[in-house]
A and B are shown apart, each in its own frame.
Chain A
Amino acid sequence: MPELLYLDTARLGLMSPRACRASVDFARFAGEYGATLYLTDFLKDGFASLPSTIRDRYRGLEDWCGVASLRQSLRDLSNAQRDSNVLVASRAASLMKLAARLLVRPCHNILVTDLSWPAYDRILRRAANNRGYKVTKVRVRRRILKRHLTADELTDNIATQFVRDGCDGLFLPLVDNLGVQLPVRRIVERLRNEAELRFVVLDAAQAYNHVPLDLASNYCDFVIAGCHKWLRAFTPMGVGFFGHPATADYIRDSTQRWMRQGAIDEPLMRFVDELDGGACQRFGETVSLSPLLTSNAAVIDALRNRESIEVTTDNERVLTSMADSLGWRVLTPSNDLRSRIVLLQSPHESDRLASSETIRRRFLNRSIALSAYTCGIVRVSLPSRPFSVDDCAALQSALASTA
């Protein structure tokens, strides 16, 4: 059987080698040592705290150096400042709930686009509606994909509507699930000049370890990311970044207060804070620890293998020219809004009528994993290594076949 060409990172990334080793060795460790003090020491002080006999048997856990080290690695990967804050949660959705609460305190009209992940959109709307506030949606996706709106035009569009509708809060994805990379920094700077922008939340679920986050410049207030997609930890874990000098105290104090009050119920966040601070809650909830170790290992893999933009550009060129020659329609945005996600639409009527599951399976039969949607659209997450000859052949064969 030929090697699988995995092009579905936008859904769930292939587990990185270190993450895989950490996961396997932690499962073995759990089977042999359970919740002994070895585990407590290991989680608090890292791999070095284990006796050498144990260390020799679980080399896959050697990347774990404690929570502070995990936080620093996550910061390094997002290019955030050293004094910025990192929150860790069992689900990114928990962080979105926190972000929604943070947004609706100072803001009364929050601008979103139709590029937002629907589940996050719902969380935000629920939080806003509970207080009688407004969420203003700007529809841009169609114009980006069909009319090739440029970054400047998109910025103009959003800024105009923000000012016209008297918005004061902003929630945007850095990269949407169909691969549109928003010029978020440019938009935020423009809005700060033209209006009273009170709080900015970014969704980096599709952006973390995919496009540069460049958080050091503090252009936003709160960023939500996940570890199971482009970071390739495979086990979901939410990560929140904040460090803007104007809002860091507000976010830190409010998060701690809401955790104490139980308004934010996030056991992993509580556990990690306890590990970091040394305090231990006697009757705390039991949490899954595996995401901490796999995410930590995946971040180290990502930091050591910084991916080249040239490779991605070459891959995109190869894929789009191949698809184009076979009659597939390339649904890419303008150059300045592109990411490593490419959308293709089949020219065949039979594909357009087929279910997404059928199309996905057809590609899998040719050893290609990708996402498929209705209307014969497939989503390809470009790999960080160049396409090999075999990859190209598999792609050619899959694209040429009909349902």
Chain B
Amino acid sequence: MDATETTHSEHSSKPLLASAGLAGLTFAVWAAAPTSFLLGYLCLLVSALIGLVMKTWLEVRARPQQPPLLELLLSLASDPELATLHASLADALKDVSSRTDPTFRKLALSRLNSIAADCALLAKGQVAFTSTESWRVVYEELLRSPGLHLYRSVAYVESAHYWQDGPGQQSTQLNLELHDEGTIRIERTAIIADHLWPASDLFPVDPLHSWLDQQHRYGIWLRLIRESALENDSELLCDFGIYGTRAVGMQTADPAGRTIRFLLDFNFAKIQEAETVWNRLGVYATSYRHLLDQQH
């Protein structure tokens, strides 16, 4: 038995000892003292008990910001996966708190703050990815998930090499494959920077044009918007995908068109907001089919 267990057992036996002592004293008073003394003694005990209860109640009320621990534990108990995680985190935190090295504590607090921020994001129904590879895995999982029939994507293209790197090409291929086999229907709106789609040109520059044309040849419905068309509606300049009615994914790309951050949001309100943006973009968009019509 180690020191921690000894302390714990000592703490838990104290109330029992106190109760036993009090019971012994009451028995002695009952046996030796007159009835009036016994009554007075009992009144004193009841008053002390009421006082203690009131003190505890006032203490609880004085600190409303403290998490309702019992309620939390009960709700987590109904989710075994999270309950296990919670226990493991609590144990880890306890272990961390037992270490006193100041450098270790500084490092640990910094890391734990970052973990707490991630947890807060998760609690809001959001998942952030900074590694391209990890989000592509989730992207594929989402697109292949049962019950998803429609994927609407808005690509804010500031580089002709948008989605032209290895992972980007893989994602394009995944889009084509899933759309072609009928697993989901994909529609894409591309907001294209003016230098990539000069006003005098019918189509955007290559390889962007080829990227779009390849999708058209698979039957993906495409809509195109010149960036300058949105100058009075700049809040519509964004890069996101709507996964049925389940999630919205917001993408941040670097100047070379590579994805550097991806935020998945599973809140229905956000999905509705994204749908509103999608519909508003439709006002400014030209279908790729219409451009092909104009070509001839």
Of the stretches A85-93, A248-256, A311-319, A354-362, the one at the interface is A248-256
A104, A132, A250, A257 interface centre (most CB from chain B within 10 Å): A250
- How far does the Cβ of A82 sit from chain B's closest Cβ, in whole Å? 14
Beta-carbon contacts under 8 Å, B198-254 to A: 213, 216-221
With A105-B179, A245-B293, A247-B289: A131-B185 Cβ-Cβ less than 8 Å? yes
Of B185, B218, B289, B293, the contact of A133 (CB 8 Å cutoff): B185
Q: Are A198 and B185 in contact (CB under 8 A)?
A: no
Known: A196-B287, A245-B292. A105 touches B185 (CB 8 A): yes
Q: State whether the Cβ of B149 lies closer than 8 Å to any Cβ in chain A.
A: yes
User: Of A132, A196, A198, A254, which is within 8 A of B217 by CB?
Assistant: A254
Q: Are A106 and B180 in contact (CB under 8 A)?
A: no
Contacting residue for B218 out of A105, A196, A198, A245, CB 8 A? A105
Q: Which of B149, B290, B292 contacts A132 (CB 8 A)?
A: B149
Docked Cα-Cα span, A350 to B187, in Å, equals: 58
Q: Is the CB of A105 within 8 A of B296?
A: no
Q: A246-B289, A246-B293 are in contact. Are A105 and B219 (CB under 8 A)?
A: yes
Establish whether residues A106 and B221, one from each chain, have CB atoms under 8 Å apart when the complex forms.
yes
Is A102 engaged at the interface, CB distance under 8 Å to the other chain?
yes
Is A130 located at the chain interface by the 8 A CB criterion?
yes
**Which among B149, B220, B292, B296 is the interface contact of A106 at CB below 8 angstroms?**
B220
A211 to B296: give the CA distance in the assembly, Å.
27
Query: How distant is the Cα of A375 from the Cα of B255 in the complex, in angstroms?
Result: 72
Q: What does DSSP make chain A's interface, helix, strand, loop or mixed?
A: loop
A residues 83-133 in Cβ contact with B at 8 Å: 101-102, 104-106, 108, 130-133
Residues in B with CB closer than 8 Å to A133 are: 185
Closest B residue, CB atoms, query A101: B182
Residues 194-218 of A at the B interface (beta carbon under 8 Å)? 196, 198
* A245 x B295 contact (CB < 8 A): yes
Q: Kindly identify which residue among B185, B217, B220, B295 contacts A108, using a CB–CB cutoff of 8 Å.
A: B185
Contact count band on B: 20 to 34
Taken together as a complex, chains A and B put the C-alpha atoms of A131 and B183 apart, in Å, by 7
The minimal Cβ–Cβ distance linking B198 to chain A, given in whole angstroms, is 22
Taking a contact as CB atoms under 8 Å apart, the answer to whether B219 and A102 are in contact is: yes
Question: B residues 59-85 with Cβ under 8 Å of A?
Answer: none
Q: Which residues in A have their C-beta under 8 angstroms from that of B290?
A: 246
Cβ contact within 8 Å between A249 and B216: yes
Contacts A102-B219, A105-B180, A254-B217 given; 7 further ones with Cβ under 8 A?
A105-B220, A198-B221, A198-B289, A246-B290, A247-B289, A249-B216, A250-B217
Q: Which residues of B contact A (CB under 8 A)?
A: 149-150, 179-180, 182, 185, 213, 216-221, 287, 289-290, 292-293, 295-296
- Sampled A-B contacts (30; CB under 8 Å): A101-B182, A102-B219, A104-B182, A104-B185, A105-B185, A105-B219, A105-B220, A106-B221, A108-B150, A108-B185, A130-B182, A131-B149, A131-B182, A131-B185, A133-B185, A196-B287, A198-B221, A198-B287, A198-B289, A245-B292, A246-B289, A246-B293, A247-B289, A249-B213, A249-B217, A250-B216, A250-B217, A250-B218, A250-B219, A253-B217
